[in-house]
Structure formats: C-alpha cells, structure tokens
C-alpha cells in the first residue's frame, strides 16, 4: 500500500485507551498538523481547545449522547468554527480540519474518536465557547488499547456515478 494512502485506510474510531498520559506537546503537534487543512478562500475559520482535565472530560462525556469514550480518554480536542470568518463554509471548513486532526492523531500513534457535539449547548458551555462561535466537533483521545476491525463501507459501485447522478457502468442511462 502506498505510504500516503495507508493512514487513510487504517484509521479507526478508537474508544478504549491505555492508562498512560498523553503529553500536551503531542496534542499540540496534532493541532499544528490540522491547521494545514484546506478551507474556502483559505479563511481558516477554526480554533481548537485541548482538554486534559479529568473533570472536564467527564462533564463532556455526560453532556454528549455518544460521549462515553471521553470517560476513558486522557484528552479531548474540540474544533470550534467561526461564522464571522466564513459565513457560508465555516462548518464545512471546520469539518475538514477535524478530519485532518483525526488523521494527524492517528499518524502520531494516538487513538481518537469523533464525539458528536454540534448544536450541543451544554458541551459548548462547559468548554466556554463564545456565543458567536460554533462547537463543531470534539475528539476523545488516548493511547489505543485496541485495534478494532475495519467497519463496513458501502460498495464503490453503489455510490459512484459517471458524468451525471444516477448514471454509470452499473446504472446505464
């Protein structure tokens, strides 16, 4: 497998972590990589909050429906979108940065899972996100304690068309 493709295919959602600290420097390194994500007009409408405090991670776990991994995680990283910088694309841009962050964490040997917090006012309050900004994503992070099997994906021929939606070799017009 080509070097560039490998991490894209091998990243998994990691929800169980070893009982081992994750240095702040490593989390900063992941964010430093994530800030190279592309964005519309290169507006970079994002910021990141690194969380290491146990109490905050537990409060976030309670606030987010799918937040259980945060109880076991050694850190969290939130992605905050700024509508003032990019009124139409801030969420798309922040999601691209979030994906970069997830891949960066994976490439650094860390395990992470995206925790759904978009529109979660309680999670935004816990993190002190200003009213005019948007909490777009949150990651539970730690040293992986598991190597989960790949999760299933839809078949290529069921989701790719040629030239026009609905048309292609498997769906002749």
Given the complex with ligand FMN, which of 81 and 113 has the nearer CB atom?
A: 113
- Minimum distance from residue 160 beta carbon to ligand FMN (Å): 19
- Minimum distance from residue 139 beta carbon to ligand FMN (Å): 10
Identify which of 119, 134, 49 has the alpha carbon closest to the alpha carbon of residue 86: 134
* Interface with ligand FMN (CB under 6 A), residue from 4, 128, 151, 165: 151
Q: Give the count of beta carbons closer than 10 Å to the beta carbon of residue 10.
A: 12
Q: Is position 13 an interface residue for ligand FMN (rule: CB under 6 A)?
A: yes
Question: Restricting to residues 79-138, which ones interact with ligand FMN according to CB under 6 A?
Answer: 113-116
Straight-line distance from the first to the last Cα atom of the chain, in angstroms, rounded to the nearest whole number: 35
- Minimum distance from residue 153 beta carbon to ligand FMN (Å): 8
Given the complex with ligand FMN, which of 86 and 117 has the nearer CB atom?
A: 117
CA-CA distances (angstroms) from residue 137 to 65, 75, 134, 153?
A: 13, 14, 9, 22
Identify which of 118, 78, 83 has the alpha carbon closest to the alpha carbon of residue 98: 78
For ligand FMN, the nearest residue by Cβ is 66
């Amino acid at each position: 497998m080509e070097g560039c493709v490998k991490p894209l295919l091998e990243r998994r959602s990691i929800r169980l972590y070893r009982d081992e600290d994750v240095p702040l420097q490593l989390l900063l390194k992941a964010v430093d990589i994530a800030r190279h994500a592309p964005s519309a007009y290169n507006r970079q409408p994002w910021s990141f909050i690194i969380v290491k405090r146990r109490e905050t991670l537990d409060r976030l776990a309670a606030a987010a429906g799918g937040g259980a991994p945060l109880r076991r995680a050694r850190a969290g990283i939130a992605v905050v979108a700024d509508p003032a910088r990019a009124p139409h694309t801030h969420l798309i841009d922040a999601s691209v940065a979030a994906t970069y962050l997830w891949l960066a964490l994976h490439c650094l040997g860390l395990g992470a899972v995206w925790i759904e917090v978009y529109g979660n006012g309680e999670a935004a309050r816990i993190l002190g996100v200003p009213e005019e900004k948007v909490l777009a994503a949150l990651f539970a992070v730690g040293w992986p304690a598991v190597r989960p099997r790949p999760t299933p994906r839809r078949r290529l021929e069921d989701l790719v068309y040629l030239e026009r939606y609905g048309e292609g070799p498997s769906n002749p017009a």
